[in-house]
């Protein structure tokens, strides 16, 4: 246990995926397919999550355990 143990932040909860849209009782000719829109939103959220991980955490993982400890992190906390 290090001196920084009380300062560690709890693990953030996973973001919820967007809920599928409700199916309307009527059809409008100009209405786009709701399943397609939901799939695109889900893929976009997944892409943003992976991009944030690559930008924020991969540079930290390039350091060895000793350097991470000097910065106040542990490899287990990052992953």
Q: Is 2 part of any domain?
A: no
Separation between Cα atoms, residue 48 and residue 54, nearest integer Å: 10
Q: Is 51 part of any domain?
A: yes
Instruction: Check residue 25 and report its DSSP letter.
Output: S
What integer is the mean pLDDT of 5-27?
Answer: 68
Q: Is 75 part of any domain?
A: yes
The predicted pLDDT at position 45 comes to 93
Residue with tokens 């920084």: 4
User: What pTM, to 2 d.p., does this model score?
Assistant: 0.51
Q: Is 69 part of any domain?
A: yes
Q: Nearest Cα to 4, choosing from 72, 60, 51, 75?
A: 72
Query: Looking at the 3D structure of the chain, how many domains does it have?
Result: 1
Q: Is 17 part of any domain?
A: no
Q: Is 67 part of any domain?
A: yes
Q: Is 19 part of any domain?
A: no
72 torsion bin: left (phi>0), alpha (psi -120 to 50), beta (else): left
Q: Is 73 part of any domain?
A: yes
- Per-residue pLDDT tens over the stretch 19-33: 777 777 776 777 778
Domain that holds residue 78: 33-79
């Amino acid at each position: 246990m290090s001196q920084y143990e009380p300062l560690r932040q709890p693990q953030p909860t996973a973001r919820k995926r967007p809920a599928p849209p409700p199916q309307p009782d009527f059809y409008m000719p100009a209405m786009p397919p709701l399943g397609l829109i939901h799939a695109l939103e889900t893929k976009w959220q997944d892409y943003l999550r992976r991009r944030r991980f690559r930008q924020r955490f991969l540079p930290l993982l390039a350091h060895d355990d000793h350097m991470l400890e000097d910065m106040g992190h542990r490899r287990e906390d990052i992953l």
